[in-house]
Structure 1
Amino acid sequence: MQGRSFNPEFKLKIVRAVLSGEKTVIQVCREHNLSESLIHNWKKLYREKGEVAFTTATQSRITPVTTEQQEITALRQRVAELERLAGQQALEISILKKVSEMLNTSASPNGVK
């Protein structure tokens, strides 16, 4: 059974037959030499995504691109967050240096270090 591929129309026909009660999972498996787990997976996909689940645009070979794009987006957001943090820390350091200089100047007699 491994290595076979099924077109979207076939998958829809099978899932609809099972979900409508026209046939049981076991009947479909015997008629088409399919595994029960395969039918259950198709049913799950159909329930989650509808007919779109079986179109070629949503097959697994495209999923990694989507996952990769999500990772890139997340990494870009992280970089932006770190850049904001670095800028904030640079500003804080600058302010602290100025305050330190003012304190040193006012602490010394006659404003001389």
Structure 2
Amino acid sequence: MLILPEIYENLPLKPYCTDDLGGLVIRPRQTAVKMRYIQHNPPCMTHFICLDIDHEHGAMRWAEEYLPPPRWTSQNPENGHAHIVYELKTPVCTSEHGSRKALEYLAKIQAG
């Protein structure tokens, strides 16, 4: 899998990752990016919004809904379900030190 340098830089230093959903492990970023599943946001910070699209041809659902193009998509070849990922220009701090308004806005986007 190819990961662009600017995306790699925003991944956690030691993300949770796995090749099967049976058990997560914590590995250094350079090892984790070689695995099938990887934590894309560091603790207490949201750089990426990942939307789970449970529809056939899910990776292109954004275009059907006239949404802006995502940063990247991944699609299950067996059923067409996908993840659509948007990168935030300004990350949102999700700890108690974050902006309440920014957290509320982020929650509304994720719920929509």
Same fold at TM > 0.5: no
Per the normalisation by structure 2, the TM-score is: 0.21
Higher helix proportion (structure 1 or 2): 1
Q: Please tell me whether Structure 1 or Structure 2 has the larger radius of gyration of its CA atoms.
A: 1
Q: Which has the higher strand share?
A: 2
